[in-house]
Structure 1
């Protein structure tokens, strides 16, 4: 699996699985600074298969432009049920995938290049340029088409399960978070 695919898997919906994403939930979480935006809807309409094209309704309000050089700090956990309790095992940052910190603009730029497996610019408002730093805008798209690549058999097996992800967007000028999202996914 390419590093770019893993990054967008974690960053945008954390939905990948051996057969399908059976359940995905998200909630906005507290950040050090407020007023940068809100995720109103991420509704994946189809099961995610590898390979597949799925449609999603997305509504993200960016109420203040992202700071220049912003990063997203991902903390990814594989969740296991043991003795009736959920246990979280942190997935480390390996080869720039997993619980890592990523440059938001570099991710956006890489995603929009030909051959990229997941293009974040598909959720940009029509007629507005897909630019970074991300300006004040409303990223609202119904039936956005998201493409997922073929995964080798072992990779399909390994991504199957329950996940919890915390995505904190960090302002490089003061190292404080300005936007936060918690995502949980059950992957088939």
Structure 2
């Protein structure tokens, strides 16, 4: 399962409970303890509250601090660690968390620039990919998982979610195969009618 390089994975400001859930949203992946999972995490980012940002700064001395960002000392994988940002966007300070590959020299700066560019859109909107990532991040572990041996070989290890289809009952579907109506039904009400922005 390979994901795109830089992606927003949760809409809105996450509280502490949601922040910790999103930190390891790939915990149920198959073969969790085999191989390097860096590509699953590198480039993922989401907004956190200022209190959550400061809480993470106070847990341990950071690995490093540079202007508006600091990196956690504990690594998620070989070279992937959490980087927290405080960025001024549209005249107000906001806080963000992202996973950066510190083997890539400009990774924290490139992620910062991507966050600023994304959060500076003139119209509040979501891409199709952001809708799917939000659904995955917001769905409880009991209702999401990975396609196993009962699926066709080309679908194994892809992400799945349970979808309640009314009279049709509950169905296990590939996340990527959700229809626009199914996506809208799984999004919170305040996100359902946002226009879709076409990813560049």
Task: Normalising by structure 2, report the TM-score.
Answer: 0.25
Larger strand share, 1 or 2: 1
